[in-house]
C-alpha cells in the first residue's frame, strides 16, 4: 500500500471570512507563505485547465495589468497577392499590415466554500486540498461554459442532413428523416473553411463534439483513433479521433439546444486557427484565495469559519466568423 504524506501546516494559516467580496490586493486574510500560495495556486490552475476544453484552440491573451476593464484582440487581414512582375533594379513599394482591434469587456467570476473550525482541526491540509479540487472543477467548468456560449454564437451554421433550421431538427421525431451527424456534414464544414482559406492547426481543423454526436460519427469506417495518425504524447486534451482532416475532442458540456417535448439538438464546432480569442487563466486570470479563521473580525467572533475560493477574470471573443462552422444535428437516442 502506498504511503500517504501530509504537509505540516500551521492551523492559524487558514482563517475565514464568510463573505469574501474584496477586489483589492489586500492580503491580510490570506496569510499563506509565498511558497504555499504558489503551490496551491498552481494546483488550482492545473486542475481547472483540465476542464477548459473550449479554451484550447483560442488565441491566448494575458490579463493586462492596470489596463482597466477592456482587452484588445487583434485581427490581421491577409496580404494581397503580388502578381505584378518586379522591374529590374526598382524596389517596389512596401505594404502595410491592416490590423483591426476588437475590444471586449472583461468580467470577474468566483466562488468559495466555507470550512468550519472543527473540520479544520481534524486534517487541515487534506481538507484544503479537497476543497481546492472542488473549487478548481467549479472554476474550470464555469470558465469553459463562458467560452462555449460565445463561440456557439457564430454566424456560420449548417444543419445536418440538409435540414432547413434548428426547429426542423427538433421536430425530426415526427418524421422518418434522420438528421444525425454524418461524415458528409463534416466534409461540408471542411469545404466551407477551406474555401475561406481558413488556416489549419498543425495541419488539421479541430472539432469539439458532444458524446451523443460522437456516437453517430464514430460509426463511419473512415474514423481513425489517435494512435493511427498522431504520436499520442502530442494529442489534445480529450482528443478522441480524426475524420476527413478534422481532429475531434470530446466535451460533455458541448452546446446542446433543448426544447420541451422535442428532440435535443447538438452543436459540433469545426474550428480553424485564430477563430477566437480567450483570456489566459495564468498570470492573474485565475486566483486561489484562502481566508483565515477569524479574519472577518466581529463577523466571526469565535474564529469558526475559514474559506477557500477562486476568482477569475475572463472574456472570450470571436475574431473571424469565417474561421468556424457550427454543425447542428440530432443524435441516436
Phi, psi for 98 (deg, rounded to 5): -100, 105
Residue the block writes with cell 463561440: 151
Determine the pLDDT at residue 10: 44
Give, in order, the Cα–Cα distances in Å from 312 to each of 66, 79, 109, 158, 315.
16, 37, 5, 34, 10
Extents of the domains making up the chain: 11-78+98-150+277-315, 157-276+320-329
State the pLDDT at residue 111: 94
| pTM score | 0.80
**Any bridge partners for residue 72, and if so which?**
103
The predicted structure's pLDDT at residue 30: 45
Residue-level pLDDT at 289: 87
Write the burial class of residue 228 (CB in 10 Å: 0-12 exposed, 13-18 middle, 19+ buried). exposed
Helices 117-151 and 34-49: angle between axes, nearest 10 degrees: 40
What is the SS3 assignment for 221?
coil
**CATH classification (class only), 11-78+98-150+277-315:** alpha beta
pLDDT score at 21: 34
Torsion angle in degrees (nearest 10) through CA of 318, 158, 189, 202: 30
pLDDT at position 12 is 42
What pLDDT is attached to residue 7? 42
pLDDT value for 33: 61
Count Cβ atoms within 10 A of the Cβ of residue 298 and give its class: 0-12 exposed, 13-18 middle, 19 or more buried: exposed
Is the CA virtual torsion 294, 300, 303, 306 positive or negative?
Answer: negative
Of the options 3.30.1490, 1.10.10, 1.10.287, 3.30.2320, the CATH number for the domain spanning 157-276+320-329: 3.30.2320
Per-residue pLDDT of the chain (333 residues; tens, 9 = 90+): 444 444 444 434 444 444 433 323 333 334 556 656 666 677 788 888 888 999 999 999 888 776 678 888 877 777 778 888 888 888 888 888 777 778 888 899 999 988 877 555 555 457 778 888 999 999 999 999 999 999 999 999 999 999 999 999 998 766 656 899 999 999 999 999 999 999 999 999 999 999 999 999 998 899 999 999 888 888 999 999 999 999 999 999 999 999 888 999 999 999 999 999 999 888 778 998 888 787 777 778 888 888 889 999 999 999 999 999 999 999 998
Amino acid at each position: 500500500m502506498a504511503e500517504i504524506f501530509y504537509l505540516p501546516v500551521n492551523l492559524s494559516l487558514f482563517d475565514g471570512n464568510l463573505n469574501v467580496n474584496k477586489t483589492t490586493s489586500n492580503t491580510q486574510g490570506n496569510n499563506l507563505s509565498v511558497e504555499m500560495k504558489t503551490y496551491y495556486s498552481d494546483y488550482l490552475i492545473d486542475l481547472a485547465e483540465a476542464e477548459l476544453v473550449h479554451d484550447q484552440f483560442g488565441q491566448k491573451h494575458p490579463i493586462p495589468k492596470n489596463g482597466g476593464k477592456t482587452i484588445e484582440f487583434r485581427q490581421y487581414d491577409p496580404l494581397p497577392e503580388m502578381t505584378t512582375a518586379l522591374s529590374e533594379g526598382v524596389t517596389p513599394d512596401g505594404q502595410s499590415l491592416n490590423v483591426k482591434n476588437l475590444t471586449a469587456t472583461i468580467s470577474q467570476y468566483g466562488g468559495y466554500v466555507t470550512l468550519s473550525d472543527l473540520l479544520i482541526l481534524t486534517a487541515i491540509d487534506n481538507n484544503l486540498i479537497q476543497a481546492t479540487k472542488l473549487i478548481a472543477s467549479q472554476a474550470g467548468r464555469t470558465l469553459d461554459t463562458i467560452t462555449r456560449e460565445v463561440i456557439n454564437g457564430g454566424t456560420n451554421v449548417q444543419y445536418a442532413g440538409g435540414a432547413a433550421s434548428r426547429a426542423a431538427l427538433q421536430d425530426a421525431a415526427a418524421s422518418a428523416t434522420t438528421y444525425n451527424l454524418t461524415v458528409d456534414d463534416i466534409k461540408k464544414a471542411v469545404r466551407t473553411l477551406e474555401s475561406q482559406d481558413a488556416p489549419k492547426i498543425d495541419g488539421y481543423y479541430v472539432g469539439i463534439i458532444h458524446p451523443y454526436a460522437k456516437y453517430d460519427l464514430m460509426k463511419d469506417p473512415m474514423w481513425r483513433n489517435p494512435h493511427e495518425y498522431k504520436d499520442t504524447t502530442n494529442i489534445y486534451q480529450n482528443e478522441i479521433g480524426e475524420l476527413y482532416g478534422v481532429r475531434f475532442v470530446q466535451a460533455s458540456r458541448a452546446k446542446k439546444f433543448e426544447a420541451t417535448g422535442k428532440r435535443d439538438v447538438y452543436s459540433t464546432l469545426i474550428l480553424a486557427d485564430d477563430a477566437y480569442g480567450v483570456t489566459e487563466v495564468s498570470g492573474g486570470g485565475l486566483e486561489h484565495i484562502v481566508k483565515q479563521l477569524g479574519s472577518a473580525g466581529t463577523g466571526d467572533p469565535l474564529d469558526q469559519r475559514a474559506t477557500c475560493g477562486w476568482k477569475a477574470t475572463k472574456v472570450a471573443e470571436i475574431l473571424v466568423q469565417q474561421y468556424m462552422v457550427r454543425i447542428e444535428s440530432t443524435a441516436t437516442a
